[in-house]
Structures are given as C-alpha cells and as structure tokens.
Chain A
Amino acid sequence: MNMPLQPFEFVARYVLFSRWVRNEGTIRPDAFMPADDGDTSVQRHINQTEDQIWARGAAVATQRALTLHGRADVQVAAIIAQELYVDPNEPPENHANIRGWPAQVEKSLKKAKAQQIADASTWRAR
C-alpha cells in the first residue's frame, strides 16, 4: 500500500549482527548506518501485531541463514529530528527505508545522526 509514514509511528530495525547490541542492551549507531545504496531498511509497526513484527524478522533471518537477535524500535519522529525521512518501500508488506543521509564524504555526520537515532531507540531481545 506504501502509505506515507507519520511521525508518531514506530519502525523496527531487525538486528542480525550481535555486535550492534551493547552488553547492557543498548544499540550502537552502526545498526542504523545506511548501506552503500544509501538506505537503512526498517519495518513499520503500523497495523501489525507483536507476533507479526517478530515473524517478519524471523523470515529475514531464515532467508539469510542468520540469527535474529532482536530489534531496535524507534519512533519516526526521532528520525525526522535528524533531518532524515522514512519512505515506504513495499513489498514486503510494511517495509520502509530511512533515507536522506548525507553524502559519503560526510560520513562523520551520518554517524552523528545514527548515534542520536540509536539513543532514541529501544532494544527488544528476541
């Protein structure tokens, strides 16, 4: 459906790389950094149950033969506050991308933004 995201919505960043979670259960900024294609892939919570959100993460993990360690939930408003935006990008259902990152030559600014998004996120272990 690719409905535009609202600031009050939450999105989840599935964590399949255990080093992105600190021992105390907080998220490193690395988890929210974009890949070379300039996007950070996330899953919208809207219209989903808790079980459906986890099921989607588990499907990604199975597809990639990796372990789903958990997810970092963050409100879209925290992403907008960093002058980034979240674009709906289906399929799969409820998939979206964090976009608008600075150019690669300004990687340190990307890190600063990712650090603030990570600080605003909540870790949920699988």
Chain B
Amino acid sequence: MLVEWTATAMLSFGSVSSTAGASEAAEAVQRSGSEVREHIGTANISGLDRQTLLADLAALASETAIAGWDGYNASPVQRATFLQVRSFIDALPLHIASPTLAADPDGDITLEWYTDTAHVLSISISSRGEMNYAARVGLKRVWGSEPFIDEVPAMLIQMMQDCNPVLLAP
C-alpha cells in the first residue's frame, strides 16, 4: 500500500510540474516524472496481491484435479500440495511481487517470478513441502532444494526480488 501511494504521489508530482513553467528545475522535475511514468509501465508496483493469488490457486486446483490435465501423463495435484503452497504464500513478505502459478507434470505446483529470460526464478513445491528451485539472474544460473518449514529462506526472497523487483520496495 505504501509502495502504491508513493508511486501515485510521484506521478502527481510529475504532472503538477508540467504546468510549473520553464525553469530548469521545473523541467528537470518534469523529466523525472516522465521517467517514473515510463518505468511504472513495465514494473510491478503493487507487491504481493495475496487475495488474487489465493483465488488463482483455487482455479489451478480445479484445472489440475484429474490425471492427464496437461494432455499427456501429468499426475493430479494433491490437496496436500495446495495446502503447502497456501502456507508458502502466507509466509511471503508483502513487498515481494506476486508470482504466477502453474504446475509440473509430476503434480508439484510451480511459482514463477519473471521479468525476462535473464531474470527468472521458478520454485516447485511438493506435497511434502520440498522446494526445488531454478533461477537465472543475469549470467548466473542457480538451482537447489530447500525444505519449506513455515519460513521462506532469505536467499529465495532475495532471488524473487532480483528476478521481479517491485518498484520502490521498502
């Protein structure tokens, strides 16, 4: 919410400056406002939208309930997996961008933070709470496994921010 307010305030400031005359300072502020507007066009400014994410998780449940949901041999996603992902979402800090949800053919749920193919983090969560992740951050490729026990490891949170930064994150 703070992030949204700050972005809105900066936009308003930019538009006020557009009528402020031709001084160098006013022009600089106007340019700054334009740059912010351009950046906001592509950046995530709202952080974690938990309600929307949980609604999407419910939709994913119905889409993957039957074996072969992918048109091949996919295993159905189990209720235990949804409960693990729900707990994982609850454990995410609010300044993190919302991931997009999908599923692996083995029945794990995947959460992806994506800006482009050079900034992408994918985490698969299993019914037993295993987190298997793979990321590309710039030229660096990283993969590994962690158990999910109530908290999201700081290293993964950092990668979420690196792969899909929220504008003006606290």
**Which residues in A have some Cβ–Cβ distance to B below 8 Å?**
14, 16-17, 19-20, 22, 26, 28-30, 33-37, 39-41, 60-61, 64, 66, 68, 104, 107-112, 114-115, 119
Residues on B with beta carbons closer than 8 Å to the beta carbon of A109: 143
Q: B60: shortest Cβ distance to chain A, in Å?
A: 7
Interface residues on B, range: 35 or more
Q: Mark B23-37, 1 if CB is under 8 A from A, else 0.
A: 000000000000000
Q: Bound complex: CA of A112 vs CA of B52, how far in Å?
A: 28
Q: Are B110 and A28 in contact (CB under 8 A)?
A: yes
Q: Bound complex: CA of A19 vs CA of B112, how far in Å?
A: 11
Q: Are A33 and B117 in contact (CB under 8 A)?
A: no
Q: Are A33 and B143 in contact (CB under 8 A)?
A: no
Q: B128: shortest Cβ distance to chain A, in Å?
A: 12
Residues on B with beta carbons closer than 8 Å to the beta carbon of A26: 117
Q: Bound complex: CA of A39 vs CA of B74, how far in Å?
A: 11
Given contacts A26-B117, A115-B122, contact A108 B145 (CB under 8 A): yes
Q: Are A36 and B69 in contact (CB under 8 A)?
A: no
Binds A, one of B11-19, B43-51, B90-98, B100-108: B100-108
Q: A80: shortest Cβ distance to chain B, in Å?
A: 18
30 contacts between A and B (CB under 8 A): A16-B70, A17-B70, A19-B60, A19-B103, A22-B100, A28-B110, A30-B103, A30-B105, A33-B105, A33-B106, A34-B105, A35-B73, A36-B105, A36-B107, A39-B73, A40-B105, A60-B71, A66-B71, A104-B106, A107-B145, A108-B132, A108-B144, A111-B122, A111-B124, A111-B132, A112-B141, A114-B134, A115-B120, A115-B122, A115-B141
Name the contact of B71 in the complex, choosing from A17, A34, A107, A119 (C-beta under 8 A). Answer: A17
Q: Mark B47-64, 1 if CB is under 8 A from A, else 0.
A: 000000000000010010
Q: Are B122 and A30 in contact (CB under 8 A)?
A: yes
Residues on A with beta carbons closer than 8 Å to the beta carbon of B72: 35, 41
Q: Bound complex: CA of A112 vs CA of B69, how far in Å?
A: 23
Q: Are B143 and A112 in contact (CB under 8 A)?
A: yes
Q: Bound complex: CA of A114 vs CA of B105, how far in Å?
A: 12
Given contacts A111-B122, A111-B134, contact A20 B143 (CB under 8 A): no
Q: Bound complex: CA of A61 vs CA of B68, how far in Å?
A: 11
Q: Bound complex: CA of A19 vs CA of B101, how far in Å?
A: 7
Name the contact of B110 in the complex, choosing from A30, A41, A104, A108 (C-beta under 8 A). Answer: A30
Residues on B with beta carbons closer than 8 Å to the beta carbon of A36: 73, 75, 105-107
Of residues 128 through 166 on chain B, the ones whose CB sits less than 8 Å from some CB of chain A are 130, 132-134, 136, 141, 143-145
Q: Bound complex: CA of A115 vs CA of B133, how far in Å?
A: 11
Q: Are A33 and B101 in contact (CB under 8 A)?
A: no
